[in-house]
Amino acid sequence: MNSKLLISLSLIILMGCSTTKQVAKKEIKKEVVTIDAVKSGKDLYDNRCGKCHKLFAPTDYSIKRWPGIVDSMQPKANITDEQKAQILAYLSSEAK
Ligand code: HEC
């Protein structure tokens, strides 16, 4: 085996390793963002959604009903699309 071939082989192996590491890092980051969204979603929900009526329990409605309900409550609660998505992330994580 000549040394050039050996070097390119080990380069390929090295590159393979670093790609896997990067993918793993990305996945971890995604998870953290999701947990953050659920947490700030709960804060938003507690602060914005119990002003006009009792705070409904996430389990009061199914995971299918919540998106439509939060859509119709968005103008009432005066929340941005991002805040709406966070509230939904929280509700979906707790809904039945
Ligand atoms: C400005 C007052 C106000 C705010 C703020 C508000 N709501 Fe409501 N909500 C209402 C009123 C009025 C109703 C009943 C009439 C209706 O369905 O529009 C209602 C009804 C509901 C219902 C019952 C719907 C059904 O079909 O049985 C749910 C669930 C709900 N709101 C969730 C939320 C959530 C989640 C938020 C926060 C994003 C929120 N509300 C913020 C006024 C408000």
Domain containing 43 equals 26-94
Give the model's confidence band at 62: pLDDT under 50 very low, under 70 low, under 90 confident, else very high.
very high
pLDDT (average), residues 66-82: 97
64 pLDDT more than 70 = yes
> Could you give the CA distance from residue 96 to residue 35 in angstroms, rounded to a whole number?
18
Residue 55 lies inside a defined structural domain of this protein: yes
Probe target for ligand 1 pocket from 40, 48, 62, 76, with the most ligand atoms within 8 Å of CB: 76
Tokens of 74: 């968005």
**Is 1 part of a structural domain of the chain?**
no
Evaluate if residue 58 carries a pLDDT over 70: yes
- Would you give the distance in Å from CA 29 to the centre of its chain? 10
> Looking at the domain assignment, is residue 53 inside a domain?
yes
Taking residues 28-56, report their average pLDDT: 86
Whole-number pLDDT of residue 66 = 97
pLDDT at 10 over 90: no
Q: Report if residue 83 sits inside a domain.
A: yes
pLDDT at position 91: 95
Residue 57, pLDDT > 80, answer yes
Closest atom of ligand 1 relative to the 60 alpha carbon:
29
Q: What is the pTM of this model?
A: 0.75
Is the residue at 60 inside a domain? Answer: yes
Q: How many CA atoms lie within 13 A of 78 on its CB side?
A: 3
Cβ of 25 below 6 Å from ligand 1: no
Q: 20 alpha carbon to ligand 1 midpoint, in Å?
A: 46
Total domain count for the chain? 1
